[in-house]
Amino acid sequence: MRYESRYTEINDQNIHDILNELYQSKENTKFESELYGVMSSGNNLINSFDKHLIDSGLIYKNQEVRTLTEAGIQVCKEGGWLAYKSREAKVNAENKARQKAQDDKLMYDARISKYLYKTRWWPLIISIASGIVALFALFKS
């Protein structure tokens, strides 16, 4: 039994639509022919959809039946795949910014340490010389 596939490529919008369709179905379960509009046997696109969704932990495949996992249900409850991807991108951007700040701090600390290592005696010499000049001026007056 072959139908015309409703999906022509794997993209975030199509994944969002598939997850929402499963989420709105009875018991979060559908036959693959109802879900994709085509049987998966011999259809590389549908097999790729299944592989991507199963690897992401969003669906469970039992022969011709597709069922949402707990993670898939959670993604749908929180606004769907597109909202999940935008939250994930935001978290990744925040982590990148935090990592950059930590790297900058480490570079700054390394430069300061290197400078202090090279010049550690100069402040001591200057302070001793200043103390001698101050004592000399105090006793001279």
Instruction: Write out pLDDT tens, residues 62-107.
Output: 887 888 888 888 888 888 889 999 999 999 999 999 999 999 999 9
pTM: 0.59
From 57, 15, 54, select the one nearest 36 (Cα to Cα).
15
CA atoms within 13 A on the CB side of 71: 9
Q: What confidence tens digit (pLDDT) does each residue in 42-61 have?
A: 567 777 777 888 888 888 88
| Residue numbers of the domain that contains 73 | 12-77
Final residue before a domain boundary, out of 58, 77, 96 = 77
Paired residues of 29 in beta bridges: 67
Is 54 contained in some domain?
A: yes
> Over the stretch 32-47, which tens digit does the pLDDT of each residue have?
777 776 655 556 777 7
- Which pLDDT score is estimated for 4? 56
Q: Is residue 7 domain-resident?
A: no
37 with 69: CB under 8 angstroms? no
User: 1 pLDDT band (50/70/90 cuts)?
Assistant: very low
Query: Tokens representing 74?
Result: 């959670």
